[in-house]
Structure formats: structure tokens, C-alpha cells
Amino acid sequence: MELVATYPILYRSHQYEVGDSLPADDESMVQAWLDAGTAVWSEGKQEKAKATPATATAGLAGESKNGETPENVVGRVPKTPTRSKGAKKNG
């Protein structure tokens, strides 16, 4: 069994993040973490969840005047075949 942090903990000049294994050599601190709910005993090593970061499309929703695409996003460069060819080389 291992003691796992359920909340960020600063202990002995080390920052333990959620899911990190905590040292269990100090019984008073172990009991304090368990009482506060900031740590739990875990049976085995579990892999951390892997998630793909997702963000919203840049720009503001609104009516785009003279837009090149049907997307109504103001302040965003539209994705068109002409723009996707890349930068022109000089020379």
C-alpha cells in the first residue's frame, strides 16, 4: 500500500501534486493528511489519466462582414485553400 496525495501538499521543501506518492515515515503527518482528506491509502500503482488538451477556436462569435468562409468568427484568419498553400517564396 502507498499513501497518495489527493490535494497538492508541500512537505519537507517538496511539492507533491495530486496522485504523487507521499512519504509515510512520519506517523503524525500521515494521520493529519488522512484526517484532512488530502491523502488516501492506495492498493496499487494506477496510471494517471491521459487527456488531450482542447481549446476553443480563436476569435469572437459574431457576424463577420466580407468573410471568405461561412464561419462567423470575428478576428480569426479564415482557413481557405488559398491560405493553406503556405507562404510564397521570394526570388
The pLDDT tens digits of the residues spanning 20-56 come to 999 999 999 999 999 999 999 988 766 777 877 676 6
The answer to whether the Cα torsion of 20, 21, 23, 28 is positive or negative is positive
Task: Work out the pLDDT band at 87, boundaries 50, 70, 90.
Answer: low
Average pLDDT score over residue span 86-91: 64
**β-bridge mates for residue 16, sequence order:** 9
- Give the per-residue pLDDT at 64: 59
Q: Which residue has the higher pLDDT, 66 or 6?
A: 6
9-11/14-16 β-pairing: antiparallel
Average pLDDT score over residue span 68-85: 67
